[in-house]
Chains A and B, each alone.
Chain A
């Protein structure tokens, strides 16, 4: 294994980017700490500012305001070529006039390493991404997956302390994407490098990350582990963006959430009495029963459709107040219902989360 320096932490404070005279900043006072060696994913819809934030960390985009530190260095004023970060681009960005080996040698030659060491490191890194026997091919003679592995090799060959990846798997088909996800996870483990990974694909984010930062409209909505975000979403946006959710809106008062003909028991919360809030329950946390009825943790609903999805089935429902929702039932634990039935959905209070509406 290469003797690498372990990853560096990345610390971002009030990072802001405004393009031209745009009304809303593309990145709006983002603050974030990425721990050394951590796999951090920036997840969000397109236009949410995640790529712009990554490019500012890489030095490829100017900063309107704020602070970026990598390790103990303030890099805000440092040009891209002196930041010593590995960057993997969405469309690979391999140099088409250079072979795979020359592409991988490029960062080493810029660092004026001795020829013998360059050759040795290039060979070792190409082996690491399992492309040892394609060293002399031009990029256009390689498949998409192979090109991406060359790009990966080129970004890690000089032992950067932080590896930045901008939707690196976006151009690949599903099967190849899953293979490369495993590859990237392995490289992260073996190299100990800090990774910041940008994607709009929540499955990819859940599969790879130590922690995920969810971006929306230039801000970070929430940072946490995959299960934090899924089980304890902090905002409506996070609940809706990551997986399916059922939401009941109402006004908070004395430990209860009332509104829209419902009166539910509210979970513990920091939100003040009188504020609007939404109770979020994940589809697999809901239970169905045939008899209609409502209660502290129960709502009546009509079954509108049932979608079979292999290992589970999705029961689409409409609540008494008109809102749509869904229940996920594992195959083998199916209730005996059909579309058109009136049912009651209920949940354990531990599985409900309250977010600001």
Chain B
């Protein structure tokens, strides 16, 4: 299912318009492709970091509240899953556009006229919201497995709260951090809809570039080369994470998280 089109794409990338690695040379030399790849990687890092920043405390709160509150918090996280990506992105367009409520609120606070829709900032906000469940659920499932007595134990042994967190709690939740960041990072690399609708054409991501090559210019060779480059980057990321976390932990954890 997945292998055949991939193989076809790979084949096209080295045969169209003529046999050879010309398409890959173009990726590295045409200036545009590399810039877009860098921009995509940067966006990936920022989105992943923002997600982690919001998801870590959120997931922690989920582990300490009573079951009823936890059910509400879980629903809030999962809600985006049940609405279409398009609908959500358009909702963000409405919220963030010039003259929209967020813009007005910022202006009222004296922060002036901030450009959100049609900018990288807007894309980051919307993407982070879309990706949040993929970060929260693995984090929650690894936090749930941490014995609640460990942090008090660390405190009683003379660890300041910050030290207890860094030496005991954080290391024990790292598998969840690894799983969540990998999922979010890999997903944001190939994100198309949100940057296309909310971003500026001048700041396109790699998925948009591929779409342009394939749909508008009908340059299947270049599109294929870019796609494979994207795949290689994604695989390299997974490989990097696998070096630090035992294989399967990421998937196993996220599975458990989904069941709750």
Q: State the A residues within 8 Å of B (CB).
A: 58-60, 79-87, 89-91, 93, 95-97, 106-107, 110-111, 154-155, 158
Instruction: Tell me if B158 and A87 are in contact (CB < 8 A).
Output: no
Whole-angstrom distance between the alpha carbons of A84 and B157 in the complex? 7
Chain A hits for B25, CB < 8 A: none
Within 8 Å by CB of B157, from A91, A97, A110, lies A110
Inter-subunit contact A80/B147 (CB<8 Å): no
- Which of B32-40, B57-65, B160-168 contacts the other chain? B160-168
A81 touches B172 (CB 8 A): no
User: Could you tell me if B172 and A97 are in contact, using CB atoms closer than 8 angstroms?
Assistant: yes
CB closest residue in chain B, given A86 = B156
**Are A91 and B156 closer than 8 Å at their CB atoms?**
no
Q: Could you list 17 examples of A-B contacts with CB < 8 Å?
A: A59-B155, A59-B156, A60-B152, A60-B156, A81-B156, A81-B157, A82-B158, A84-B158, A89-B153, A90-B149, A93-B152, A95-B153, A96-B172, A106-B159, A154-B157, A155-B156, A155-B157
Give the chain A neighbours of B152 by CB distance below 8 A: 60, 80, 87, 89, 93
Contacting pair A81 B153 (CB below 8 A): no
How far apart are the CA atoms of A90 and B171 in the complex, in Å? 23
Whether A93 lies near B158 (C-beta < 8 A) is no
- At the interface, yes or no: B114 with Cβ under 8 Å from chain A? no
A91-B149 contact in complex given A60-B155, A96-B172, C-beta closer than 8 Å: yes
A81-B160, A81-B161, A110-B163 known; A93+B153 contact, CB < 8 A: yes
Please give, as numbers and ranges, the residues of chain B lying within 8 Å of A87 by CB-CB distance.
152-153, 156-157
| B contact residues vs A (CB 8 Å cutoff) | 147, 149-150, 152-161, 163-164, 167-168, 171-172
B160 surroundings in chain A (CB, below 8 A): 81, 110
B208 to chain A, nearest CB (A): 43
Q: Are A106 and B157 in contact (CB under 8 A)?
A: yes
Residue of A nearest to B159 (CB): A110
* CA–CA, A193 and B168, complex, Å: 27
Taking CB as reference atom, which chain B residue is nearest A82? Answer: B158
What is the chain A residue whose CB lies nearest that of B164? A81
Contact B172 A89 (CB under 8 A): no
Contacts of A158 in B (CB 8 A): 157-158
Return the 10 tightest CB-CB contacts between A and B, nearest first.
Answer: A87-B156, A93-B149, A107-B157, A93-B153, A110-B158, A80-B155, A60-B152, A81-B155, A89-B149, A110-B159
CB proximity of B155 to chain A, nearest CB, Å: 4
A86 to B156, CA, bound (A): 7
